[in-house]
Amino acid sequence: MTGNNNGGERNGNAVPAPRDTGGEAIRVRKGMFGANNGGDTSGYGGLIRTITLPGAASRPYGGWFDEVADELEGALEEQDLLPEHAIEHTVVDRDELTFHIAREHLVRVARTLRDDPALRFELCTGVSGVHFLGDKGRELHAVYHLRSLTHGRIIRLEVSAPDSDPHIPSLVEVYPTNDWHEREAYDFFGIVFDGHPALTRIMMPDDWQGFPQRKDYPLGGIAVEYKGAQIPAPDQRRSYS
């Protein structure tokens, strides 16, 4: 795609920049798979790694990224919406452009990206949920992948919400393909997509308690029976340490 080719030309190579050279450290992770209360069943208990989110980028972003940012900001101003009120910050990382959007302006920004002739991001390929326990006040993130078939470009939108208020506007009215993706993110992460036409569980049973892909969800899961034998949950198995 054009977006990938232009990104390669911007940096001159395809080697990702190391994450620990900048950005915002939100957590120090010890071990593997989040098992902290029991014995180490993975053999990776000695790992220590800083979890860092990429920081805001500064102009110029390079290539067509500036063109998209300029057009989006101009289109929002024409709607009497100050860009800095809608776009919290912009990240350029791994040759990808991500706009972090204030959740109350998400629908308007998405519709602008879809309808503006110079932008024309006609397709949203889905929304992914992310849970960062250390990102206080914005633990839940929803990430949207937008593709412009007209211009051959790919960008992302990212929206955050706190665990205590997990509400994000639904984009189904703008991108109908998000219907089941939003249901999945609700099912696994507990993100409530306000305005969704039928926000119900899609994978877990209707009476399931909790959201199994949140980082504070118990790791142990459910014991499994097999031919009369019972396999203990992962955090109840033997320790290698």
95: left (phi over 0), alpha (psi -120 to 50) or beta: left
The tokens of 153 are what? 């470009």
**Which residues, at least 6 apart from 74, have a Cβ–Cβ distance to it below 8 Å?**
none
Structure tokens at 63: 């290539």
Residue 224 per-residue DSSP state: E
Output the DSSP codes for 51-85: EEEPPPP-S---TTHHHHHHHHHHHHHHTT--HHH
Domains of the chain: 62-192 (3.30.460.80)
Whole-angstrom distance, CA of residue 24 vs CA of residue 53: 5
Residue 163, pLDDT score: 95
Q: Would you state the pLDDT for residue 110?
A: 98
> pLDDT tens across 73-101, in order?
999 999 999 999 999 999 999 899 999 99
The count of residues in the chain is: 241
User: What count of Cα atoms within 13 Å lies in the side-chain half-sphere of residue 9?
Assistant: 10
Helix (H), strand (E), coil (C) string for 140-189: EEEEEEEEECCCCEEEEEEEEECCCCCEEECCCCCCHHHHHHHHHHHHHH
- How much is the pLDDT for 51? 79
Which stretches in the chain have pLDDT values below 50? 1-17, 20, 241
- Over residues 199-208, the pLDDT tens digits come to 999 998 888 8
What pLDDT is recorded for position 29? 77
Sequence-ordered list of residues with C-beta below 8 angstroms from that of 126, at least 6 positions apart, any chain: 144, 145, 177, 178, 181
**Quick one: tokens of 33?**
């798979």
pLDDT of residue 229: 66
**Do residues 48 and 29 make contact, with C-beta atoms less than 8 angstroms apart?**
yes
CA 215 to chain CA centroid, nearest Å: 14
